[in-house]
Amino acid sequence: MLEIKNLTKVYGAGKNKLVAVDTISLMVERGSFFGLLGPNGAGKSTTIHCITGIAEPTSGQILIDGLDVVKDYKLARSKVGLSSQEFNTNIFNTPEQLMDYMGGYYGLKKDERKRRIDALIKRFDLEKHRSVIFQKLSGGLKRRAMLGRALVHQPDLLILDEPTAGVDVAQRKDLWEYLKELNAQGTTIILTSHYLEEIEYLCNEIAIINHGRIVAEGTKAEFIQGGKSVEERYLEIISNENIPLTQ
């Protein structure tokens, strides 16, 4: 589904040069639920930005279903849905408008858009808020509206960058079940989160990125072997990047 080959992303030049992502390679199989972990500033969001077209890779290649995200960008992007960490939207639009415009950008016809929007608004319990401007929504409602926007065109690859930040426990659990459902239906999901229990519950593959490099990668089973939790393993790896994943 997704193949990243030697991706490097450098911001600035000279004294201001920052290597945000340094020759990383990753493979995400179709149907997998992939957790991308790392501390703040490790390179998770930059990697996601390069996959989705928000940033342009400095070097390397990213393929989505064999389509190069730079050369075949239109086809590649049509397969991806993104729920960003930041609320990167027009705060004066309503959840319904967000989904409507996004569905339109992805080429969905009016009837199809309406059907998808109605279903997503119902699923995310946004009925009472569908015509309220984004700025006036609570943090949890904003997250759900962003998710609806990412899902309106039924992407094959769903990328969720901190999708449950600011969401209360009950809603988070509900969202987990929904994401499991989506994944079971065949949607490949890449998830970044600082809630490691979320990663442990949802993901079957995990990679850890730190200082712009992949420092560990494997299945969840490999991560939690020896009775350790993902969180314990994560802290161990981050505190000493030289420890190999499987010993």
Partner 1 sequence: MNWIGLYTLLRREVERTFSVVIQTLVAPAVSAALYLFIFGTVIGSRIGDFAEVPFITFVFPGVLLLSVINASFACASSGLYFMRFSRSIEELLIAPLSYFEMLIGFVGSAVIRALIVGGLIVVVGMFFGAITLVAPIAFILYVIAIAAIFALLGIIVALWAENFEQLQVLNTFIITPLTYLGGIFYSITFLPPLAVIITQLNPFFYFADGIRSSMIGYSEANTAIGLFVIFGLLVGLGVLVGSLFKRGWKIRA
Contacting partner 1 (CB under 8 A), which of 104, 118, 195, 218?
A: 104
107 binds partner 1 (CB under 8 A): yes
Contacting partner 1 (CB under 8 A), which of 55, 67, 165, 224?
A: 55
For residue 200, give the nearest of 26, 37, 59 by alpha carbon: 37
Burial of 85 (0-12, 13-18, 19+ CB in 10 A): middle
Closer to partner 1 by CB, 101 or 195: give it: 101
17 binds partner 1 (CB under 8 A): no
For residue 223, give the nearest of 238, 240, 242, 204 by alpha carbon: 204
Q: Minimum Å distance from CB 239 to partner 1?
A: 30
54 binds partner 1 (CB under 8 A): yes
Using CA atoms, how far apart are residues 184 and 138, in angstroms rounded to an integer? 30
Q: Which range binds partner 1 by CB under 8 A, 52-60, 124-132, 178-186, 209-217?
A: 52-60
Neighbour tally for 185: CB within 10 Å: 9
Burial of 204 (0-12, 13-18, 19+ CB in 10 A): middle
Sketch the per residue contact string, 210 through 239, with partner 1: x for CB under 8 A, - otherwise.
Answer: ------------------------------
User: Taking CB under 8 A as the criterion, which residues in 71-90 touch partner 1?
Assistant: 73-75, 77-78, 80, 82, 84, 86, 88-90
Task: Give the N- to C-terminal CA distance of the chain in Å, as an integer.
Answer: 29
User: Taking CB under 8 A as the criterion, which residues in 117-176 touch partner 1?
Assistant: 149
Question: At residue 52, what is the residue type?
Answer: T
Neighbour tally for 10: CB within 10 Å: 16
Q: Which residues form the interface with partner 1 (CB under 8 A)?
A: 11, 46, 49, 52-56, 73-75, 77-78, 80, 82, 84, 86, 88-92, 101-102, 104-109, 149
